[in-house]
Amino acid sequence: MKDNFGYNKIYLTKNKKPFFPIMGEMHYARVSNYKWREELLKMKNCGIDIVSTYVFWIFHEQIEGEYDFSGDLNIREFIKKADEVGLKVWLRLGPFVHSELRNGGFPDWLINKCDSIRTEDETYIFEVKKYLSRVYEEVKGLFNKDNGPIIGIQVENELGHVGGGDKESSEKHMKHLLEIIKEIGFDVPYYTATGWGGAIVADCIPVMGGYCDVPWERSGEKLPPNSNYVITKERDDHMIGLGNEIGSMETYKYSDFPFLTAELGGGLCPTYRRRPVVHGADIAAVTLSKMASGCNLLGYYMFHGGVNPKGINYPLNETIATGSWCDLPEFDYDFNAPIGSYGNINESFNELKLLFMFIKDFGEQLCSMESDMDIIVDENGGEFESKYCQADNLEDIRCSIRHNCESGFLFVNNYVKGYDLSSHKNVNVSDLKLIKKIKDNYFIDVKMLESINTFPSFDINNGDYFFYPINLKVGDISIKNATATPLCILKDENGFEDNVVLYGDNPKLNIEYGEKTKRIILTKEEALKSNKITLDRDYLIIANGNIVVDNNKVYLYSDNNDEIKIYPEDNNLVLNNLESNNKETTVVVNISQQTESVGNVNYLSSKDVKIIDYTLELNYNFNMSITNELDNIYLNVLYDGDVMKTIINGDIVNDNFNNGNECTIGLKGYGYPRKITLRIYGLDEDNDKYFDKKLEYKDGIACELKNIEVICNYKKLIYENK
């Protein structure tokens, strides 16, 4: 039976109940199709409910009239795989998508054929109808109304913010596009449009964004503190808006729509000018700030990285030379995402999973809790935000409380990428200014008031971001207050909430216990290794790796450093022997040849530089016919230089813009090659690029392979419910 989806001004609904989904972007065309199911399962087991993807005109019709929906471009098969593993789908249909592609995702022939694009130009509209009709033929029968997984369509992308005509003509065009999409047959519960930077929403639901840095900025200097780390009523992001003042260009009223996001940066894509480094905390602290600000859909761009396909007549990446804003790699679209291009799990994956596990169990409750923060009301009733909501205020406490007058959560963010914030010792909740505002403006339940008034003092250190419960009921216990963060709920065989899991270091707990429900306290380190699964009952598995549940089988992805603990502790779950048949697997990498030359990486601002080709010989000691447990072998390559291209069998298969971190290369998809060439392009010390992490220059140039780490990753069947 199909689900019934809807929305009100505060949250989305599913079958008439509050619905707080988590959405992650993965591009079918940038990930090998043999990996789709497995990678979608990784996303689902991290907590993703909806997989979003652009639909790429430039990939599907590179040559006019010659459509390609085969292989990695088989969007229908991708959607079916998503459905198979239990994910809903949100198609970001375009036709303009950007996505760091040439012409924003339009093929050259379309640009040359139309007098103008993203307008009511007759030729453009004709081609749009023809293209979208062809896409519909691939996805028909897979919509929610058909009991399929497609529940949302995004119309266009940033129209009125980047490209398009004036406001009036863009509004007309957006409405016409939505009309075309519906007439063709794209029938879904949700039609959305990007809402930042003055973009036109027309008759769609606005979705917002928020990135931890701005690699598309052309400056070579460190940027000011990022407004996405502020807890605020403001939904716009002037970091995406390239200098537009936040709140200055909205084409709709916030109060008419729930606060939804589609582009919280799951990572960042380095550009030729700017090379930021992404840490897990960078992404998680933005997420927490949006949750604290009242967001009720967390959508990530990207959640899974990828690799651009090779163009037929020209490269498909965005470049300044072809009229775009930035220079991007021709192939690499790893995006420093939670899941990398090759399926490798990055630090942000586990940081975000902490928040996702919470939302899975408390999201329905959180949806209806509006966010109270430090808002000043003037004598005329107008609201404006105090200095505490300013991005450059690094001294004061950034906090909010989401509550329903009976219970709630105190959110605190004291983290900003690239900046130190003041620490605060012995913070007393009842002394916070927003508490007085809440007490003065709401009929607060007496038990919630008691929980606030008795909240133990705590410290807020530079780099902290967290939320604490206030009068939270789980099972038959009541967490009056605690300096620990809720992680999840474990239910027994009958669906009773018999365990609540929180994490924190040396927390203070004020809990009224019942007869059945117990509490489990983890450290932050343990929580980062936790995985909740449901078999005959709920279990929490702490492991040095990531757990994936596929039907009745439970797999552990790890590097063989296997230590597992299971909650509840009095469980009868018996796992398989974790000893690997491939524990002796090793790969020896030798540099067999090193040659120097001079060349150009061929971007508009690049110049001739020193190049070093390192030819690697890889010697494997396993029998490839019996490597059923071996998931992949990764090379983590550390180098100094500007760009590194990976060459296998004479073909460039990937290119990395160096940011000072290791570059990961997965070998499985290339058939475990015996020989790889790494071509490193040098970088002069007097360059105008921005690096978070400084490179090492020798005689005025950086051009050196520094280290290669080999990681063997395994996929082990640890439990099967027969």
How many Cβ atoms from other residues are within 10 Å of residue 613's Cβ?
Answer: 15
pLDDT at 501 over 90: yes
If pLDDT is split at 50, 70 and 90, which confidence band does 376 have? low
pLDDT tens-digit readout, 165-179: 888 999 999 999 999
pLDDT at 388: 65
24-28, 441-445, 700-704: least confidently modelled range? 441-445
How many Cβ atoms from other residues are within 10 Å of residue 315's Cβ?
Answer: 17
Positive or negative, the CA dihedral 639, 645, 650, 651 is: positive
The pairing of strands 88-94 and 150-155 is parallel
pLDDT at 627: 52
Asked if residues 488 and 540 have their Cβ atoms less than 8 Å apart, the reply is yes
pLDDT tens-digit readout, 687-696: 999 999 999 9
Percent of all residues in the chain with a pLDDT value above 90, rounded to a whole number: 86
pLDDT at 374 over 80: no
As a whole number of angstroms, the distance between CA 195 and CA 276 comes to: 25
Average pLDDT value over all residues in the chain: 94
pLDDT tens-digit readout, 384-427: 566 667 899 999 999 999 999 999 999 999 999 999 999 999 99
Domains 5-364 and 597-713 share a fold: no
What is each CA distance from 314 to 192, 247, 317, 324, 660, in whole angstroms? 32, 39, 9, 15, 29
What is each CA distance from 195 to 352, 362, 647, in whole angstroms? 24, 27, 41
pLDDT tens-digit readout, 649-689: 999 999 999 999 999 999 999 999 999 999 999 999 999 99
pLDDT at 275 over 80: yes
Verify cis geometry, omega within 30 degrees of 0, for the bond prior to 673.
no
Amino acid at 637: V
pLDDT at 604: 84
DSSP, collapsed to helix, strand or coil, labels residue 656 as strand
pLDDT at 244 over 50: no
- Burial class from Cβ neighbours inside 10 Å (0-12, 13-18, 19+) for residue 402 reads buried
DSSP letter, residue 227: G
CATH class of domain segment(s) 5-364: alpha beta
pLDDT at 624: 55
Tokens standing for residue 131? 């293209």
> What residues are paired with 605 via a beta bridge?
none
pLDDT at 163 over 90: no
Asked if residues 681 and 641 have their Cβ atoms less than 8 Å apart, the reply is yes
If pLDDT is split at 50, 70 and 90, which confidence band does 561 have? confident
pLDDT tens-digit readout, 187-237: 999 999 999 988 999 999 999 999 999 999 988 999 999 999 999 998 988
Asked if residues 84 and 36 have their Cβ atoms less than 8 Å apart, the reply is no
How many Cβ atoms from other residues are within 10 Å of residue 145's Cβ?
Answer: 12
pLDDT at 588 over 90: yes
Dihedrals phi, psi of 583, to nearest 5 degrees: -65, -15
Percent of all residues in the chain with a pLDDT value above 70, rounded to a whole number: 95
As a whole number of angstroms, the distance between CA 212 and CA 275 comes to: 13
As a whole number of angstroms, the distance between CA 210 and CA 204 comes to: 20
pLDDT tens-digit readout, 598-650: 999 999 888 999 999 999 999 998 765 555 689 999 999 999 999 999 999 99
Note the residue count of the chain.
Answer: 722
CB within 8 A of 304, min separation 6: which ones? 24, 25, 26, 27, 31, 39, 42, 43, 337, 338, 339
For the entire predicted model, the pTM comes to 0.97
Closest CA to 644 of 626, 668, 619, 662: 662
pLDDT at 51: 99
Kindly state the average pLDDT of the residues 579-600: 84
As a whole number of angstroms, the distance between CA 218 and CA 221 comes to: 9
pLDDT at 239: 76
DSSP line for 367-413: HT-EEE--EEE-TTS-EEE-GGG-TT--SS--EEEEE-SS-EEEEEE
As a whole number of angstroms, the distance between CA 207 and CA 189 comes to: 15
Structural element, H or E, at residue 168: helix 167-184
As a whole number of angstroms, the distance between CA 31 and CA 26 comes to: 8
Q: Parse the chain into domains and list their residue ranges.
A: 5-364, 368-589, 597-713
Asked if residues 548 and 542 have their Cβ atoms less than 8 Å apart, the reply is no
As a whole number of angstroms, the distance between CA 364 and CA 296 comes to: 10
As a whole number of angstroms, the distance between CA 54 and CA 42 comes to: 20
Asked if residues 682 and 357 have their Cβ atoms less than 8 Å apart, the reply is no
Asked if residues 471 and 408 have their Cβ atoms less than 8 Å apart, the reply is yes
pLDDT at 433 over 90: no
As a whole number of angstroms, the distance between CA 289 and CA 285 comes to: 6
pLDDT at 245: 47
Helix axes of 280-292 and 347-367: crossing angle, nearest 10 degrees: 10
pLDDT tens-digit readout, 306-348: 999 999 999 999 999 999 989 999 999 999 999 999 999 999 9
As a whole number of angstroms, the distance between CA 164 and CA 370 comes to: 35
pLDDT tens-digit readout, 104-138: 999 999 999 999 999 999 999 999 999 999 999 99
End-to-end CA distance of the chain: 27
As a whole number of angstroms, the distance between CA 10 and CA 293 comes to: 12
As a whole number of angstroms, the distance between CA 26 and CA 302 comes to: 7
Q: What angle do CA 403, 24, 216 make, to 5 degrees?
A: 100
pLDDT tens-digit readout, 36-77: 999 999 999 999 999 999 999 999 999 999 999 999 999 999
Tokens standing for residue 164? 């398009």
**HEC readout, 262-312:** EEEECCCCCCCCEECCCCHHHHHHHHHHHHHCCCCCEEEECCECEECCCCC
pLDDT at 379: 52
Question: What is the C-alpha radius of gyration for the chain, rounded to an integer number of angstroms?
Answer: 26
Asked if residues 660 and 595 have their Cβ atoms less than 8 Å apart, the reply is no
Topology of domain 597-713, CATH: Jelly Rolls (2.60.120)
